[in-house]
Amino acid sequence: MRLIGHLPNEASASTFSDYLYVQGITNEVEREKDGWAVWIHSEDELAQAREMLAGFLGNPGDPKFQKHSRQANHLKEQAQKEEKAAEKRFFDRRRIFRSTAPYGVGIFTLLLIAASVAVGVLSKFGADMQFLNNLFMTQIDSMGRYTPGFAEIRRGEVWRLFSPVLIHFGVLHLILNMLWLFDLGSMIESRQGPVRLLLLVFVIAGLSNLGQYYSSDPLFGGMSGVVYGLLGYVWMKGRYDPAAGLYLHPQTVTMMLAWFFICWTPLIEIFGNIKIANVAHGVGLAAGMAWGYLSSLRALRA
C-alpha cells in the first residue's frame, strides 16, 4: 500500500475514503499522531488518488464528496459477498499445507524414499561402484570408461533409464533430496493420487537422466532432477489452477530457484568438492513446469 496523505479528523477521513471507494480506488484510513492517514492499495492509482485528495483538502464541503457513504457501503457489502463465494470455489492455502503433514504421506512417496535410502546404504553412499554399475545408465569400468549407445538398455535393462535417481553420493545429498521429495511428493499424491505422482516421477526421471547423460557422462545420480520437476509442476498448478489444491509459498520458489542458479556457478565444486548434475536439474524443472502449465489449460479457459 502507498500513503497519499493525511486528513485532520475521522469524519473527513471517512468521507474521503468512501469517495475514493466509489471511484474504484480501494483504500484504508488509520489514525496517526498527526491526523488520519489515507492509504491506497494500487501503485497505479497513486497519482489519481493524490489529485483527488488535493481537491478534497481544497474544498471538503463540496457536495460531490458528501454523497457517497451509502453507495460505498453497498459496494463493500457486494465485495464481501463475492469474496465469500470465491472462498467456496477455491481451496484455502492452510488446507493445502495441511495435506503435506505426515498423516498425508502416500504409499508411493514412502516407497521412493525407502528405495533411495536402501540404495544409499547398499552402495555405501556412492563408494561401491560394483553395486552402482547395476543402476547407472550404462556400465562404467574402473578407469571411468564406458561404451556409448545404451547397450544394456537395448538388451532389456530398461530400469537404467530411471534408476540413477535412486543413487546418492553422501548422506547429506540423500537427506536434502528426501526432505523435498517428502513435501512435494506428499502434496501431489494426497491431492491428485499415486498414479499422477508415479507418471510425473518416471517421465521426469527419464528425461532428466537422458539430458544429463548426453551433456556429460553416466557417472551421476540423485533425486534432485525429479525434485525440481515436481517443484515446477506444483508451481505452475498453484499459479494457473488453484482449484487443484497445489500451492508453493513464493519464498520456497525463490529459495529453490536461487539454489538452482548457484549450482551452475563454480562455487559448489570449489567449496563443496562435489559435481552437480545441473542439466538434470534444468531438464527436470522445465519438464515439470511444462506439464503443470499444459495440464492447467482447461482451468485457464474456464
Q: What is the pLDDT of residue 189?
A: 92
85 against 210, higher pLDDT: 210
Q: If 0-12 CB within 10 Å is exposed, 13-18 middle and 19+ buried, where does residue 214 land?
A: exposed
Domain final residue, candidates 29, 59, 89 = 89
How confident is the model over 9-36, as a mean pLDDT?
Answer: 86
Structural domains in the chain (count) = 2
Task: Please name the amino acid found at residue 229.
Answer: G
C-alpha cell at 80: 464481501
228 against 33, higher pLDDT: 228
Residues 51 and 101 in one domain: no
Query: What share of the chain has pLDDT > 90, as a percent?
Result: 38
Range of the domain at 28: 2-89
In a 13 Å sphere around the CA of 277, the CA atoms on its Cβ side amount to: 31
Confidence of residue 289 (pLDDT cuts 50, 70, 90): very high
Q: What are phi and psi of 29, to 5 degrees?
A: -125, 145
Residues 6+ apart with CB under 8 A from 256: 228, 231
For residue range 143-192, what is the model confidence (pLDDT) as tens digits?
A: 778 888 889 999 999 999 999 999 998 898 899 999 999 989 998 998 88
**Coil vs helix vs strand at 124:** coil
Asked if residue 133 has pLDDT above 80, the reply is yes
Residues 113 and 255 in one domain: yes
141-180 as b/e, with b when 16 or more CB fall inside 10 Å? eeeeebeeebebeeeebeebbbbbbbbbbeeebbebbbeb
CATH number of residue 179's parent domain = 1.20.1540.10
Q: By the 8 A CB rule, do 13 and 7 touch? A: yes
Q: What are phi and psi of 264, to 5 degrees?
A: -80, -10
Q: What is the pLDDT of residue 96?
A: 43
The Cα 64–Cα 213 span in angstroms is 71
> Taking phi first (over 0 means left), then psi (-120 to 50 degrees means alpha), and beta for anything else, what does residue 126 get?
left
Q: What is the pLDDT of residue 94?
A: 47
Q: What is the pLDDT of residue 177?
A: 92
Q: What is the pLDDT of residue 87?
A: 55
Residues 244 and 179 in one domain: yes
Q: Choose from 76-90, 155-169, 287-301 the range with maximum mean pLDDT.
A: 155-169
How confident is the model over 87-115, as a mean pLDDT?
Answer: 64
Residues 185 and 215 in one domain: yes
For residue range 47-58, what is the model confidence (pLDDT) as tens digits?
A: 899 998 999 888
Confidence of residue 206 (pLDDT cuts 50, 70, 90): very high
Residues 39 and 142 in one domain: no
Confidence of residue 102 (pLDDT cuts 50, 70, 90): very low
Asked if residue 74 has pLDDT above 80, the reply is no
Least confident of 138-142, 170-174, 177-181, 272-276: 272-276
Q: What is the pLDDT of residue 258?
A: 85
Asked if residue 299 has pLDDT above 90, the reply is no
Helix, strand, coil % over all residues of the chain, rounded to 5: 65, 5, 30
Domain final residue, candidates 89, 121, 156 = 89
Residues 104 and 240 in one domain: yes
Confidence of residue 69 (pLDDT cuts 50, 70, 90): low
**Coil vs helix vs strand at 51:** helix
Q: What is the pLDDT of residue 181?
A: 93
Domain final residue, candidates 89, 105, 137 = 89
The Cα 206–Cα 159 span in angstroms is 10
Residues 252 and 295 in one domain: yes
**Consecutive H or E run containing 7:** strand 2-7
Residues 135 and 279 in one domain: yes
C-alpha cell at 226: 525429479
Residues 198 and 293 in one domain: yes
137 against 74, higher pLDDT: 137
The Cα 164–Cα 157 span in angstroms is 13
Residues 100 and 51 in one domain: no
CATH number of residue 63's parent domain = 3.30.70.2350
Q: What is the pLDDT of residue 99?
A: 43
Q: By the 8 A CB rule, do 99 and 186 touch? A: yes
How confident is the model over 225-249, as a mean pLDDT?
Answer: 88
Residues 104 and 182 in one domain: yes
HEC assignment per residue over 209-270: HHHHHHHCCCCCCCCHHHHHHHHHHHHHHHHHCHHHCCCCCHHHHHHHHHHHHHCCCCHHHH
Residues 12 and 149 in one domain: no
